[in-house]
Amino acid sequence: MSVLSWQKSSYCGTGEACVHIATAGPDAAVNVSGGADPGETYLTVSRPAWSAFLQAVKSS
C-alpha cells in the first residue's frame, strides 16, 4: 500500500477544511478529500475524470 502525500488547495483560506488531493504516482488515480483529515475519507477518480472536472471548473 502506498503512502499518499496530500496537498492542500492554494485557494484555501484559513483552517484545514479545504480540498486536498493526492496521487500514488504519475499515472495513478487522483484522490480528493474535502475534510480536515484527508487520509480519513476521500474519493478516488481517474486521471481523465479529474482533468475533465478541472477543465469544467476553469471554464465556468
Domain boundaries, the chain: 7-59
Q: What is the pLDDT of residue 4?
A: 85
Q: What is the pLDDT of residue 25?
A: 82
pTM score, whole prediction: 0.78
Compute the C-alpha angle 33/35/40, nearest 5°: 75
pLDDT tens digit string along 1-46? 567 889 988 888 776 678 899 998 888 899 999 888 888 889 999 9
The rounded radius of gyration (Å) of the Cα atoms in the chain is 12
